Structure 1
Amino acid sequence: MTAKVTLSFSDDTIEEARRFAKREGLSLSAWMDQAAREKALREVFTAHADAVNRAGFDLETAAVADAREVAMVDDVLFGGRPRAA
C-alpha cells in the first residue's frame, strides 16, 4: 500500500537526498521511504535501550534476548517484507 503525500524540504536537504538516492540506485521516493523507516527503527530501539538501561539490565544480554522483539518491530514496520540493507 502506498500513500501519496506532499512534503516540503530545504533545497540543501532535497539535493542531498537526490544524490544519495542516485548513488544507491533508488528513486527519490524509495530512498525517502527507506530513510523514514530507518529513523523510526532508531527511535524504537533507542527508547528500548533507554528502558533497559533504566531497569539496570546488561545491554548486551538484553540485545541477545530481544530477537523476538526485533522480529515483531520488523513485522510492524515492514509488513513481513525484508528490510532494506
Structure 2
Amino acid sequence: MGNVAIIVKIMPESPDVDLEALKSAVKAAVPVNDIREEPIGFGLVALKAAVVVPDKAGAPDEVEAALRNLKDVGSAEIIESTLV
C-alpha cells in the first residue's frame, strides 16, 4: 500500500482570523508537509496545506473532517490528490 498526497484548501471564517494561529492549529491537527497562503480577495486569505496520508479508504476524508472542525475554519476542501 502506498501513500496519497492531498492538497486541502482551508478557508478562514473571516479576514480577521489570525493566520499564524490557524497555521499552528492545522499543523497540530494533521501531519502537514507544507502550508502556503493564497490571497482570495477583499482581505481574505486561504491556506493550502499539503498532507501525505496512507492510501486507504477514508484517510483523505479524515484529514478534511479534522480541518473542518478547527476553530476559525469556515471550510476545508480537498482540491487535489495524487499517489506518491
TM-score by length of 1: 0.33
- More helix by percentage: 1
TM-score by length of 2: 0.33
- More strand by percentage: 2
> Which has the greater radius of gyration?
1
